[in-house]
């Protein structure tokens, strides 16, 4: 749901149009109906942001089932999103509601990644006349292609992160700890209008920067060391993702070479972002540059991922992803080099695939100097 009082100028999203697109996607997976239990997917289809609920996407109707805590919220969020959905409120197991909705339906898709073994057995009992089909990515396939409203929210989240980093960057020179700097970023996100941080903000200096997903520690940021800062904000559910590597003073020449290699690799990767280009080209461009510098084994993670309602979602940017990039996808490009015990560098932007090439949403400067 939009929050007009905080963000008055957000481009509207076409939430209502998602029902039919997901129905088509379910059909491609040979399902006549889909039981949506992943709460992010529930939100995607209905606008409902509550912590409990599921959606029945039948051949002719969309039904949101939630409990009495959410009676009012489910009505107001789905009507703000202009979604044609029947809402059922119950504090009991919705066996009768679902069995009635499923009358005459042959094949019902379950979201394999979000249905537990116990739930699967329960649904088999509830839908005894139907065939249950495990599915993967039926809704997620649709979520990959963002409309203008979704991109607008991500652009705002990215702009908030840019502003927060500009504000906090000078703090690094004052001997603060990683945790203090991370907290300052998180606080700035909220003050600037974000709902929250998109994930646990990473601030990692010196040898800690060699650990790609370390959490901020109480180690003070020192002079002449590389500091990795990986951050994102959330606006109306949509996330941004950006990493910058900075240094207070001049790092040693080898660390500088690590940084410059990563910065160049990232630029080369972003340049490959174009509709129709294999996703793997982005990965290849980054890896080729890092390999040439002799650090192939020090680039220990994937090159990027889709971003949206989840921080990590389809598509994955890696060597095996040979499918073409499509207009409306939003991905990260984030090569890194990590030399244990010494230093690490990563540079990451959130990038939209457009007809005219890559559109970066994250704009913070990629200079090492903190101020
Ligand atoms: Zn990141
Ligand atoms: Zn990322």
Cβ density class 19-32: b for 16+ within 10 Å, e for less = bebbbebbeebebb
Would you state the structure tokens that stand for residue 267, as one six-digit string?
């630029």
Ligand 1 centroid to Cα of residue 337, in Å, is: 14
Ligand whose nearest atom lies closest to the CA of 346: 1
Helix (H, G, I), strand (E, B) or coil at 153: helix
The phi-psi region of residue 356 (left if phi > 0; otherwise alpha if psi is between -120 and 50; otherwise beta) is alpha
| pLDDT for res 294 | 98
Whether 36 contacts 113, CB under 8 Å: no
Nearest Cα residue to 82 out of 65, 62, 53, 56: 62
Q: Annotate 244-269 with DSSP letters as a single string.
A: EEEESSPPPHHHHHHHHHHHHHHHHH
| pLDDT for res 8 | 61
Q: How far apart are CA 78 and CA 82, in angstroms?
A: 6
| pLDDT for res 7 | 57
- How far separated are the first and last CA of the chain, in Å rounded? 37
| pLDDT for res 213 | 83
* Inter-helix orientation angle 39-46/18-28, to 10°: 130
Helix (H, G, I), strand (E, B) or coil at 346: strand
Ligand 1 centroid to Cα of residue 339, in Å, is: 19
Ligand 2 centroid to Cα of residue 231, in Å, is: 9
Angle at 325 between CA 324 and CA 327, to 5 degrees: 135
Ligand whose nearest atom lies closest to the CA of 198: 1
| pLDDT for res 1 | 40
Ligand 2 centroid to Cα of residue 230, in Å, is: 8
Would you state the structure tokens that stand for residue 246, as one six-digit string?
């900075």
Q: What is the mean pLDDT of each run of 10 residues along the chain (371 residues)?
A: 54 96 98 98 98 97 98 97 97 96 97 96 95 97 98 97 97 96 98 97 97 93 97 98 96 97 98 98 98 98 98 97 97 98 97 97 95 69
Whether 345 contacts 175, CB under 8 Å: no
Classify strands 242-247 and 304-306 as parallel, antiparallel or unpaired: unpaired
| pLDDT for res 9 | 85
Residue with tokens 């039926």: 138
Task: Tell me which DSSP letter residue 188 carries.
Answer: H
Ligand whose nearest atom lies closest to the CA of 313: 2
| pLDDT for res 6 | 43
Strand partners, 332: 350
Ligand 2 centroid to Cα of residue 221, in Å, is: 23
Ligand 1 centroid to Cα of residue 32, in Å, is: 38
Ligand 2 centroid to Cα of residue 238, in Å, is: 14
Ligand whose nearest atom lies closest to the CA of 199: 1
Would you state the structure tokens that stand for residue 342, as one six-digit string?
């010494």
Q: How far apart are CA 83 and CA 14, in angstroms?
A: 9
Ligand 1 centroid to Cα of residue 229, in Å, is: 8
Ligand 2 centroid to Cα of residue 317, in Å, is: 10
């Amino acid at each position: 749901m939009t929050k007009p009082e905080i963000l008055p100028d957000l481009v509207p999203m076409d939430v209502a149009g998602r029902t039919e697109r997901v129905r088509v996607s379910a059909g491609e997976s040979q399902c006549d109906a889909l039981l949506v239990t992943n709460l992010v997917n529930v939100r995607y289809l209905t606008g409902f942001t509550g912590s409990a609920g599921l959606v029945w996407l039948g051949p002719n109707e969309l039904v949101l089932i939630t409990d009495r805590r959410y009676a009012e919220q489910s009505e107001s969020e789905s009507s703000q999103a202009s979604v044609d959905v029947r809402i059922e409120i119950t504090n009991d197991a919705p066996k009768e509601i679902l069995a009635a909705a499923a009358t005459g339906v042959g094949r019902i898709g379950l979201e394999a990644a979000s249905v537990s073994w116990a739930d699967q057995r329960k649904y088999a009992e509830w839908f005894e006349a139907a065939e249950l089909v495990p599915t993967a990515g039926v809704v997620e396939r649709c979520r990959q292609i963002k409309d203008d409203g979704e991109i607008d929210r991500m652009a705002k989240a990215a702009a908030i992160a840019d502003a927060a980093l500009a504000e906090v960057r000078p703090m690094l020179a004052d001997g603060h700890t990683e945790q203090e700097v991370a907290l300052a970023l998180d606080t700035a996100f909220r003050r600037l209008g974000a709902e929250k941080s998109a994930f646990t903000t990473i601030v990692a200096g010196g040898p800690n920067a060699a650990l790609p997903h370390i959490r901020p520690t109480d180690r003070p940021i020192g002079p002449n060391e590389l500091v990795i800062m990986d951050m994102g904000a959330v606006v109306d559910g949509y996330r941004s993702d950006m990493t910058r590597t900075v240094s207070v003073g001049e790092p040693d020449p080898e660390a500088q070479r690590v940084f410059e290699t990563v910065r160049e690799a990232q630029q080369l990767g972003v340049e490959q972002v174009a509709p129709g280009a294999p996703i793997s080209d982005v990965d290849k461009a980054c890896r080729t540059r890092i390999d040439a510098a002799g650090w192939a084994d020090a680039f220990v993670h994937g090159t990027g991922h889709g971003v949206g309602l989840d921080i990590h979602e389809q598509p994955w940017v890696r060597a095996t992803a040979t499918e073409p990039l499509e207009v409306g996808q939003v991905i990260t490009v984030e090569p890194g080099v990590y030399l244990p015990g010494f230093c690490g560098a990563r540079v990451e932007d959130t990038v939209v695939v457009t007809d005219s090439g890559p559109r970066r949403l994250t704009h913070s400067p990629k200079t090492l100097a903190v101020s």
